[in-house]
Amino acid sequence: MAWFKKNLLLSLFSLLLFSHSLCAALKSATFVLPVKKDGATLQYVTRVQQRTPPTLLNLVVDLGARYLWVDCDKGYVSSTYGSVYCGTAECNLTASQGCTDCSLPRRPGCDKNTCSVGIEGPTVGTGGVLAQDALSIASTNGTVPGPSATIPKFVFSCAPSFLLKGLARGAKGMLGLGRGNLGLPLQLASAFPVSAKFAVCLSSTTTSNGVMFFGDGPYEISSGVDASARFKYTPLFVNPVSTAGSYIAGEESVEYFIGVRSVKVNGTAVPLKKSLLSIDEEGHGGTKISTTAPYTQLQTSIYTAVTGAFATAMGSTTRVAPVGKLKLCYDAKDVGARYTGPAVPTIDLVLQDESVYWSILGANSMVEAKKGVLCLAFVDGGINPTTSIVIGGHQIEDNLLQFDIANSRLGFTSSLWIVKTTCASYNFQSLP
Ligand SMILES: *[C@@H]1O[C@H](CO)[C@@H](O)[C@H](O)[C@H]1NC(C)=O
Ligand SMILES: *[C@@H]1O[C@H](CO)[C@@H](O)[C@H](O)[C@H]1NC(C)=O
Ligand SMILES: *[C@@H]1O[C@H](CO)[C@@H](O)[C@H](O)[C@H]1NC(C)=O
C-alpha cells in the first residue's frame, strides 16, 4: 500500500503545484511539446513523460490518429498502469468495443476482458488493447515552458513490439493528435481548462526542435514573434467515413480535412477534375493534412497537371534525373535563391474563396533530394487513393498550423521564412 500512497501523494502534489501556479493565475492553460524531425525516416518525433516513476518516451507524431500507442511488450514498468475493461465509460469512447481475453500472466497489455481497438504503425496495423496511465506535459505561458501537469489516467493503446517496425530509431510508439475523444488534444481539454485546439510548428532541420502548443495562443515561436497574429482561417471538415486502416461501420474519420477548391501554379489555376476535391459519401476524395506523409501526395491526374504546369513555369531550367519518387528535379546551380527558399514558381492552394489561399514557396515546394539536385517535393498518390490530396510534412515545415477543433477551423500562416523566423526558434530552455 505504501507505494500507492506515495504515488497518490505525488500526483496530488503535481496537481496542486499545477493548480496553484497556473489555474489560479489563468482562466485557461496552454501546454507545449518539442518535436524533432528524424533524418532517416522523415518522421517527426516528440517526447512525453508517461508512467510512474515517469519515463521519457520518444513518440512519432501522427496528426490523424485516434490514440497514443506504445509498445507494452517490452520494458513497460509503472505502478500506475491500469487496464481499460469492456463496457466501461473509457471503452465506450472508442468506436470499436470488442473485448480481448489474454491468457498469459497479467502484465501491461495482457489482462482479461480488456477493451480492444485497432491501431496503426507506419507499415502495418494490428489489434491492441486500451489502457490508462499517468501522462505529464509541460505548461507554457506562450513564451517559455512552465510547470508540468499530470493526467493521472490518460487513455492510450498498448501495442505489440512488432508495430514499432519502421518507426524512427528509439521511438516507442506514436502520439495520435486526431480530433476524436481519445486523441491528446481532447483528453487534455477534458482534464484541464484547455481549449480544444492545438498548433503545430515543424522544424525543417533534424538538429533543432520544432514546437506543438495545446490550447490558446499566444504562440511565441521566436522571441517577440507571436506567429498566431499571421493566421488566415479556413474551415476544417469531418470526413463521415473513417480513413483509418481498420474501422467499424459508421465511424467518422478523426483526421483534419480542408477544402481546396483549386491549385494555382505561378498564379494560374491548373485544370483539375473538381469531383476529386470534395469528399463523397464513401469518404473518398478531398484534402487532408498528414505528419506521416513526408511529401504531399496528389492523385495521379492532379499530380500530372500540377507537375506539368510547374515544369512549364520553370522554363529552360536544367532538368536532371528523378530521385526515387521525386520525378521533377533540377540542377540546383540553375535555380536562384530567395529568402523564402529556391526561386521557383509559387504553388497556391486556393481555399473557400479566391482571397484565401495557402502559398507554398520554394522552401516548402522544393527539396534537395541529393547534393546539387533540387526536386519538386510532391509525389504521385496513385489513380484511386482514398484521399485525393494529402498535404505532407515537407509542405508544413516552418509554417504554424492551428487545428481548432472547438471552432472547426484551421489557422495557417504560410511560410514563417517571410517574417524571417522558423519553427526551430521556440525557447525550450531546460527541457527534460
Ligand atoms: C458502455 O456502453 C454499453 C453498451 O452501450 C453500456 O451497456 C454500458 O452501460 C456503457 N458503460 C458506461 C460506463 O457508460
Ligand atoms: C512568460 O514568462 C517569461 C519568464 O517568466 C517572461 O519573460 C515572458 O514575458 C512571459 N510571457 C508572457 C506572454 O507572459
Ligand atoms: C509567372 O507569372 C508572371 C506574372 O504573372 C509572368 O510574368 C511570368 O511570365 C510567369 N512565368 C512563367 C514561366 O510562366
Kindly report the pTM of this predicted structure: 0.92
Write down the CATH number for the domain with range 233-425. 2.40.70.10
For the ranges 222-231, 330-339, 390-399, which has the lowest average pLDDT?
Answer: 222-231
Whether 298 contacts 379, CB under 8 Å: yes
Q: Which residues pair with 119 in a beta bridge?
A: 126
Topology adopted by domain 2-227? Cathepsin D, subunit A; domain 1 (2.40.70)
350 has a pLDDT exceeding 50: yes
Closest-approaching ligand to the CA atom of 91: 1
* Cell, residue 138: 509541460
Residue nearest to atom 1 of ligand 1 (CA): 87
Q: What are phi and psi of 23, to 5 degrees?
A: -60, -35
Of 161, 163, 199, 171, the C-alpha closest to 31 is: 199
**Cα 178 to Cα 200: distance, rounded to the nearest angstrom:** 13
More confident residue, 94 or 199: 199
Residue 245 CB neighbour total at 10 angstroms: 12
Q: Which helix H or strand E contains 347, and what residues bound it?
A: strand 347-350
Whether 177 contacts 288, CB under 8 Å: no
State if residue 267 touches ligand 3 by the CB under 6 angstroms criterion.
Answer: yes
**Cα 229 to Cα 217: distance, rounded to the nearest angstrom:** 9
CA dihedral in degrees (366, 371, 373, 376; nearest 10)?
Answer: -20
**Cα 69 to Cα 78: distance, rounded to the nearest angstrom:** 16
Q: What is the pLDDT of residue 27?
A: 62
What's at 152, amino acid-wise?
Answer: P
What does the pLDDT look like over 188-207, one tens digit per residue? 999 999 999 999 999 999 99
CA of 92 to the centre of ligand 1 (A): 6
Of 318, 286, 389, the C-alpha closest to 347 is: 389
14 has a pLDDT exceeding 60: no
Residue nearest to atom 3 of ligand 1 (CA): 87
Q: What is the pLDDT of residue 222?
A: 85
State if residue 311 touches ligand 3 by the CB under 6 angstroms criterion.
Answer: no
User: What count of Cα atoms within 13 Å lies in the side-chain half-sphere of residue 156?
Assistant: 31
CA of 266 to the centre of ligand 3 (A): 6
- In the chain, which segments carry CATH 2.40.70.10? 2-227, 233-425
| Cα 164 to Cα 172, 196, 390, distances in angstroms | 7, 29, 23
Paired sense of beta strands 389-391 and 287-289, if any: parallel
343 has a pLDDT exceeding 90: yes
What does the pLDDT look like over 112-170, one tens digit per residue? 999 999 999 988 899 999 999 999 999 988 888 889 999 999 999 999 999 999 999 99
Q: Which residues pair with 127 in a beta bridge?
A: 118
What does the pLDDT look like over 137-149, one tens digit per residue? 999 888 888 899 9
Which residues, judged by CB distance below 6 Å to any ligand atom, belong to the binding site of ligand 1?
Answer: 87-89, 92
What does the pLDDT look like over 414-430, one tens digit per residue? 999 999 999 999 888 75
Question: Mean pLDDT score of the chain, rounded to an integer?
Answer: 92
From 144, 226, 428, the mutation candidate for ligand 2 (largest count of ligand atoms within 8 A of CB) is 144
* Cell, residue 74: 517490452
Residue 226 CB neighbour total at 10 angstroms: 15
Residue nearest to atom 9 of ligand 2 (CA): 143
Is the C-alpha dihedral spanning 85, 153, 408, 199 positive or negative?
negative
Q: 198: buried, middle or exposed (CB in 10 Å: 19+, 13-18, 0-12)?
A: buried
From 28, 143, 427, 430, the mutation candidate for ligand 2 (largest count of ligand atoms within 8 A of CB) is 143
CA dihedral in degrees (242, 248, 252, 258; nearest 10)?
Answer: 0
Q: What are phi and psi of 54, to 5 degrees?
A: -60, 135
Ramachandran region, residue 240 (left: φ > 0; alpha: ψ -120 to 50; beta: rest) = alpha
Residue nearest to atom 3 of ligand 3 (CA): 266
349 has a pLDDT exceeding 60: yes
Q: What is the DSSP letter of 271?
A: P
- Which of helix, strand or coil describes residue 240? coil
State if residue 317 touches ligand 3 by the CB under 6 angstroms criterion.
Answer: no
Q: 315: buried, middle or exposed (CB in 10 Å: 19+, 13-18, 0-12)?
A: exposed
What's at 162, amino acid-wise?
Answer: F
